[in-house]
């Protein structure tokens, strides 16, 4: 059984081990995305009687639906732009950020956008995306509602 209590662990040790776990998690996440991308590319979900990579991730790997969507989207994007794997592995990018940037990434801007989103929070990437694809303000509209004649 794993120990998940830390009563006997010093603060310095706890913080050091946490930092090491986070680093391993980032590297593992990048590797996981690379494996997902390759399984997707080879359509290895079909022999498992799954109609899609998403179905495979949910049914076989037991990912939550939203987790499956994000990881598949990030994996496909990173396969297209392999520099993303390294950005995730070294902590410059997170999966949510990759998913947010995915529709805007092109060969000629991937390095620039990854640099702009490096170590950024979701909110900061939302602002970056808003600058990339601004939406016009909705026009103000006043609609008369039929009433009692006043």
- Whether the Cβ atoms of residue 25 and residue 18 lie closer than 8 Å to each other: no
Our measurement of the distance from residue 50's CA atom to the centroid of its chain's CA atoms, rounded to an integer in Å, reads 23
Domain ranges of the chain: 23-131
Query: Could you report the per-residue pLDDT of 45-63, keeping only the tens digit for each?
Result: 999 999 999 999 999 999 9
Considering the entire predicted model, what is its pTM? 0.85
Say yes or no to pLDDT of 134 above 80: no
User: pLDDT-based confidence at 139, cuts 50/70/90?
Assistant: low
The upper half-sphere exposure of residue 92, i.e. CA atoms within 13 Å in the direction of its Cβ, equals 14
Query: Could you report the per-residue pLDDT of 20-39, keeping only the tens digit for each?
Result: 999 999 999 999 999 999 99
């Amino acid at each position: 059984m794993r120990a998940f209590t830390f009563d006997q662990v010093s603060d310095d040790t706890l913080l050091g081990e946490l930092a090491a776990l986070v680093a391993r998690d980032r590297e593992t996440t990048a590797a996981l995305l690379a494996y997902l991308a390759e399984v997707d590319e080879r359509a290895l979900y079909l022999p498992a009687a799954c109609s899609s990579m998403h179905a495979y991730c949910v049914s076989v790997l037991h990912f939550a639906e939203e987790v499956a969507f994000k990881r598949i989207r990030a994996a496909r994007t990173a396969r297209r732009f392999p520099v993303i794997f390294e950005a995730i592995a070294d902590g410059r990018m997170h999966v949510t950020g990759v998913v947010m940037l995915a529709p805007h990434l092109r060969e000629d801007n991937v390095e620039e956008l990854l640099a702009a989103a490096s170590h950024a929070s979701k909110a900061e990437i939302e602002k970056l995306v808003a600058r990339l694809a601004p939406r016009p303000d909705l026009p103000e509209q006043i609609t008369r509602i039929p009433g009692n004649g006043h």
